[in-house]
Amino acid sequence: MNSAQQDDGMLGRARVTDTPELTAYYAELGAHDAGALWTVANDIEPWYPQPASVPVLWRYRELRPLVRRALDLVRADDAGRRVVMLVNPGRKDVSAAVGLLYTGLQIMGPGEAMTAHRHQAAALRFVHEGTGAWTVVDGQKLRVGPGDFAITPNGTWHEHGNEADDEPVIWQDGLDIPLVNALDAGFYEVHPDLHQTPGKVINSSVLTYGANLLPHGAEKWTRPYSPLLAFPWDPTYEALRGLARATEGSPYDGVIAEYTNPVTGGSVMPTMGAHMQLLRPDQATSAHRHTGSVIYTVAKGRGASVIAGRRFEWTKGDMFCVPSWAWHEHHNLDASEDACLFSFNDFPVMRSLGFHREEAYPDHGGHQPVTGTPTATPPATAATAATA
């Protein structure tokens, strides 16, 4: 910590000492639904982000049996969506997994189908297991399998189900529900007919936009989200392997690529972006931090990530979160296989509001010392001195 900044008062920050007169004054302000800024200034304008979210790892091996139990415990029709949410211990009040992002594991039994609805929150899916998953998004039927990524942009009608006759589907939902609620902008509607009438062509957006060719008429697409709604695993993984041959990648993320809106090259939706990244065998990235929250899902391989000084070992299916401004670095622990991390984030919100900031970890050759303490504070640099 920078010693000058230990004392908020020296920098012109609030340090008024309580007196009986002031205490009485604060009470009187409170009675008028008012308050004195100097009693909260250092809390509401911190030196740097102070997320309530903590780093968390959710192990698929541990959650899967619990998710499967919900199949027998609740009927999909009664539950609406049969989902086990991942809840950050610091964000229970808003059902967030990290920051303003929600995520959960949804299970659909063989032959099940959910009714159609739409809402202000945007949604995305990443399939963990099961081959029978389908979803209808604004009348377009998509089939998705393990490793596939699909989007349900805000305001689009959607319903989904599992057309396999033997095994359940478990997919991960990612939504910006806490963001929408933080902005008091939530709406929700059930489809008047409970179901849409899907067009006959399955995965029509993939047929139209899925080959890096911009089709005739694409310029007419003016909605703020990607017209390509599904991104299958196989071509994504092949693209990452190609990238790994052709480029070095990022020192912080390995070989990483964003799923994009093919018309604009921007993020798939206005509030949430998503990436797939590949860590080469044994690769250990350098630590950095940035504004914006991220939820990761291990798509392939095994490794470890150090987040805010805590080390989390992960394997396929595991999910973990990186709160805003937390130092993080990733390590592929396998000497011969690559490891792949799917992730989604609120970066489009940060960028569109001008809130994006990023910096490299300056010490110890770019790697954090591992403290093992859940709330460990990283060593502060001059730019990031803590509040006193």
Restricting to residues 119-178, name those near ligand GTQ by CB under 6 A.
119, 123, 173, 175
107 binds ligand GTQ (CB under 6 A): no
Residue 284: strand pairing partners = 331
For residue 169, the minimal CB distance to ligand GTQ (Å) is 13
Q: Residues 61-90 vs ligand GTQ: string with x where CB under 6 A? A: --------------------x-x-------
Which CB atom, from 123 or from 169, has the smaller least distance to ligand GTQ?
123
The whole-angstrom separation of Cα 281 and Cα 86 is 29
Which CB atom, from 78 or from 219, has the smaller least distance to ligand GTQ?
78
The whole-angstrom separation of Cα 299 and Cα 235 is 14
Q: Which two tokens stand for residue 369?
A: 């010392």
The whole-angstrom separation of Cα 35 and Cα 322 is 34
SS3 assignment, position 255: strand
User: What single-letter amino acid sits at 380?
Assistant: A
Query: Look-up: residue for tokens 């999909």?
Result: 76
The whole-angstrom separation of Cα 382 and Cα 388 is 14
For residue 178, the minimal CB distance to ligand GTQ (Å) is 11
For residue 80, the minimal CB distance to ligand GTQ (Å) is 8
Residue 58: strand pairing partners = 319
104 binds ligand GTQ (CB under 6 A): yes
For residue 174, the minimal CB distance to ligand GTQ (Å) is 8
The whole-angstrom separation of Cα 125 and Cα 173 is 5
Which CB atom, from 133 or from 340, has the smaller least distance to ligand GTQ?
133
Closest among 258, 256, 199, 209 to 230, alpha carbons compared: 209
318 binds ligand GTQ (CB under 6 A): no
Residue nearest ligand GTQ (C-beta atom): 173
Which CB atom, from 182 or from 376, has the smaller least distance to ligand GTQ?
182
The whole-angstrom separation of Cα 81 and Cα 33 is 40
Q: Interface residues with ligand GTQ (CB under 6 A)? A: 81, 83, 104, 106, 119, 123, 173, 175
